[in-house]
Amino acid sequence: MTGDTVRYEIDGSAISSAADFYAEIGRAVNGPGGYFGSNLDALADCLRGGFGTPESGDFEFVWRDSATTRAQLGVSAADEPPMIDRVVEVFSDVGVPLTLS
């Protein structure tokens, strides 16, 4: 992380559903009640920049208490990985650094 990189922190202890995740990431980026996607496609669009994040793309996320989120969200449909894994994949696909802690 350079001195100019913006770090957003997601509070995993506040997440017990997909709706909670989108509310929490919206709060992390844009403050209480802020928007930052409401499904995985919208999340990917927001991660590309301009929805509260720097246009330069110089930002990263830290997901605190990610194990709590994993435990709360459990497993998705039988043929899909857990939501947390799908979210991590979106971050990776878009190229935005995400640290699970």
pLDDT, tens digit, 9 for 90 and up, residues 15-43: 999 999 999 999 999 999 999 999 999 99
More confident residue, 75 or 13: 13
More confident residue, 69 or 80: 69
- Domains of the chain, start order: 6-100 (3.30.370.10)
User: What band does 74 get if pLDDT is binned at 50, 70 and 90?
Assistant: confident
Q: Residue 33: what pLDDT?
A: 95
DSSP helix/strand/coil, 22: helix
* Class of residue 1 by CB neighbours under 10 A (exposed 0-12, middle 13-18, buried 19+): exposed
CA 32 to chain centre: 15
Average pLDDT of span 67-77 = 82
Angstrom distance (rounded) from CA 86 to CA 48: 17
